[in-house]
Structure 1
Amino acid sequence: MQPLEIASTPNLENLAHQITYQPNKFNVQVIWEEAGQKALLFAFAAGQELKTHTTPHPALLTVLEGSCLFHMQGNSQTLQAGAVIIIPANIPHALTAQSNFKMLLLK
């Protein structure tokens, strides 16, 4: 068996530094996309929100920096740096940045 070869990907080394805050609207950047899958970085200034929506596939949200209030299925939970949450397909969800907040979303 040959060892796994890992290509150097400098643009993925420090995810939180790859995206900046925007004063008027949250910032989103696709950092990887292949075979119908995506990795997206989001940066929300304090108070910015992602309105209630659904996605057709499950997603994995990882908080990189700051905190947000995450809403799903009638419940709200504060997520802070290091938190990971699975968002099921077709379930309405939303979030509001409590502080400057960055996240990685895999879907």
Structure 2
Amino acid sequence: MVSRTLAQGKPLSVTLFAFDRGEEISSHSSPGDALVYILDGESEITIGNEKHIVKSGEAIVMPNNVPHGLVAQERFKMLLIVIFNLS
């Protein structure tokens, strides 16, 4: 997996990721709501107990404080945007 942070601040973070087939991010939770946009390829993304196959051109939202993780079904690239609650 390769990642590049494009923007990082208190209200949000924007990161570009590239994965090889079979690479994964283990289940974890985040204090911010996250939007994943698949730029290329396909991934299985688990949010809570639900598994989703997300493909190039599709997006999925991962709510804050809900465990989530992913496994690359093939090589893929994604843009991750996390919005943090500042209150």
**Superposition map of 1:1-107 within 5 A:** 26-107=1-82
Greater CA drift, 81-90 or 30-39: 30-39
4+ residue runs of structure 1 moved beyond 3 angstroms? Answer: none
Greater CA drift, 32-41 or 95-104: 32-41
Distance, in Å, in 2 between the alignment partners of 1:72 and 1:44 is 19
- Select the structure of larger CA radius of gyration: 1
Identity of aligned residues (%): 32
What amino acid sits opposite 2:43 in the alignment? C
What's the RMSD between the two structures over aligned residues? 1.0
Structure 1: gaps of 5 or more residues: 1-25
Distance, in Å, in 2 between the alignment partners of 1:94 and 1:34 is 23
Between structures 1 and 2, the one with greater strand share: 2
Distance, in Å, in 2 between the alignment partners of 1:61 and 1:72 is 12
Between structures 1 and 2, the one with greater helix share: 1
Distance, in Å, in 2 between the alignment partners of 1:34 and 1:77 is 29
> What's the TM-score once normalised by structure 2's chain length?
0.89
Structure 2: gaps of 5 or more residues: 83-87
> What's the TM-score once normalised by structure 1's chain length?
0.73
Distance, in Å, in 2 between the alignment partners of 1:73 and 1:31 is 27
Q: State the number of aligned residues.
A: 82
